[in-house]
Amino acid sequence: MSEYSKKIRACMIRSFAQVLKPARKVMDLSIKTISERSGIPEDVLTNIENGKAQLSDTNYIALAATFDNFMSQRVLIENKENKILQKILETDYDDPTIPAYYVEHFKKIEDKPFLSKWFATFEELLFQLQKAPNEIFTDAELKVLVENYKIFIDETVLEDEDFPLFMDRIAPFLKNASDVTGNNVCVRITKDVIARIKERAQTSSEDLESLKRAMEAIMKYKSEGLIEIFDAENVEAVFDAYREKFQFILITDNRDLAVEINSSQEEQPRRSPILFASVYEAGTIALYDFDSVEQDDASESSYDDDDDEEEAEDWTDDEDVTESDDVSIPFQEGALGDFIRKAKESSSIQLDI
């Protein structure tokens, strides 16, 4: 997330400003000399050293270039100035909201030139989960997942009786990431999911309990800011449009869908791989094993084989999600129609994180 990179830069600036005076003394350079080399006025440097002025991004870059040049001129000289200077200017990553794996990444390049470290924060850091198929995600791994992946689900997960348990597990991490980044970090569904739930409720008297469960889950978690409806026809369209910029995981119990999308992404090996997981007992999740002929029951599609052809057509359906003139559901008459209307009236969600 770019927000963490901004926090890393803030740590660099704060640490540099705090040790500017002792570092300058190790270099045996006066304020005047530093000013001439960096282009920063003497009074500004004095105020920064005395804590009366903040070090700006621009001035940090100017000082970093000055210090890099000073140290490069002594690279062939066997003296202790550079090591002392490097130690003094070591960044103090004192912001507890920065994930440990971000801090560790930048600590590994601590001995690099100051400008190199600065511009490294503008590179997109993709922390890909190294997780074996069928292994249950730990809470620590769920936290990393929330912080680095855009999470999408479909109706097969919404209808799963263990879905509320999954949301209970992941909710604290979603809320924490939202607080840290200032963005609404959540689980997303595309509008075709709502369309399919609506269609099944209108045309079938079967699976009413699972449809009710899905509808209630959407309303509950949407009101809590934990689920958002993404303005896209289907999840494949989202992946095609944003996969070069973001990492995604699709949580679905529809194995055929997972296999189909996974097969298509193999044609684009340079792009960040999409992860696929299914919901297991007690709200746990695990990645699919695409090399295995059979999956655990939790990985099976919630649809019968006879419905595969019809379901495939649903994924390419281009109709808008609109409220029916007559929505009548045995378990809660009119409730789904009201929800669809409210969902449609809500603002579209964009991936502008």
At 182-219, the pLDDT tens digits run: 788 899 999 899 888 888 888 777 778 888 888 888 88
Residue 23 CB partners (closer than 8 Å, separation 6+): 67, 85, 88, 89
Q: What letter does residue 347 receive in the DSSP assignment?
A: P
Give domain status of residue 125, yes or no.
no
Give the total number of structural domains in the chain: 2
Residue that finishes a domain, picked among 88, 120, 152: 120
**Distances in whole angstroms, Cα of residue 323 to Cα of each of 156, 235, 352:** 22, 22, 28
Q: Give the torsion through C-alpha atoms of 158, 162, 165, 170, to 10 deg.
A: -50
Token representation of residue 250:
């699709």
pTM of the predicted structure, to 2 decimals? 0.59
Helix or strand (DSSP H, E) at 104: helix 100-107
285 beta partners: 279
Query: Is 297 part of a structural domain of the chain?
Result: yes
Q: How far, in Å, CA of 216 to CA of 210, rounded?
A: 10
Q: Same domain, yes or no, for 116 and 165?
A: no
Is 350 domain-assigned? no
68, 162: one domain: no
The reply to whether 353 falls in a domain is no
| Model pLDDT, residue 313 | 36
Residue 160 belongs to some domain of the structure: yes
How big, in percent rounded to 5, are the helix, strand and coil portions of the chain?
A: 55, 5, 40
How distant, in Å, are the alpha carbons of 185, 201, 203 from that of 329? 32, 7, 10
Does residue 325 form part of some domain?
Answer: yes
Residue 180 reports pLDDT greater than 90: no
**pLDDT top residue among 276 and 291:** 276
Q: Rounded to an integer, what distance in angstroms lies between the CA atom of residue 312 and that of residue 126?
A: 32
Tell me whether residue 127 is in a domain. Answer: no
Confidence class for position 321, pLDDT limits 50, 70, 90: very low
Residue pair 323/337 in contact by the 8 Å Cβ criterion:
yes
Same domain, residue pair 307 and 234: yes
- The answer to whether the beta carbons of residues 234 and 195 sit under 8 Å apart is no
Domain for residue 108, yes or no?
yes
Q: Are residues 113 and 149 in the same domain?
A: no
Q: What is the enclosing helix (H) or strand (E) of 122?
A: none
CATH number of the domain within which 13 lies: 1.10.260.40
**Residues with Cβ within 8 Å of residue 78, at least 6 apart in sequence:** none
Q: How confident is the model at residue 315 (pLDDT cuts 50, 70, 90)?
A: very low
**Residue 84, CB-side half-sphere exposure with 13 Å CA sphere:** 12
- Does residue 165 sit in the same domain as residue 64? no
Residues 329 and 224 placed together within one structural domain of the fold: yes
Q: Give residue-wise pLDDT tens across range 161-176.
A: 888 899 999 999 999 8
Same domain for 187 and 279, yes or no, is yes
- Please tell me which residue, 313 or 147, carries the higher pLDDT value: 147
Indicate the SS3 state at residue 293: coil
The tokens of 305 are what?
Answer: 């084989």
Q: Give the separation between CA 217 and CA 345, rounded to whole angstroms.
A: 19
So what's the pLDDT on residue 49? 94
Q: Which tens digit of pLDDT belongs to each residue from 19-70?
A: 999 988 888 889 999 999 999 999 999 999 999 999 999 999 999 999 888 8
Examine the fold and report which residue of 120, 149, 174 is the final residue of a domain before the chain moves on.
Answer: 120
- Rounded Cα distance between 272 and 4, Å, is 20
The structure tokens 């799963």 sit at 160
Boundaries of domain holding 51: 2-120
Do 243 and 166 share a structural domain? yes
Same domain (yes/no): 64, 149: no
Q: How far apart are the first and last CA of the chain?
A: 8
The pLDDT score that the predictor gives to residue 349 is 43
Mean pLDDT throughout 131-155?
88
Does residue 107 sit in the same domain as residue 202?
Answer: no
My answer on whether 149 and 101 are in the same domain is: no
- Rg (Cα) of the chain, in Å, rounded? 26
146 and 13 in a common domain: no
| Last residue within a domain, chosen from 120, 148, 165 | 120
Taking the C-alpha atoms of residue 34 and residue 22, their distance in angstroms, rounded to an integer, is 13
Give the residues across from 229 on adjacent strands. 189
Name the token pair of 320: 């808008």
How much is the pLDDT for 328?
33
- More confident of the two residues 10 and 322: 10
Beta bridge partners of 276: 250
Q: 251, 287 in Cβ contact below 8 A? A: no
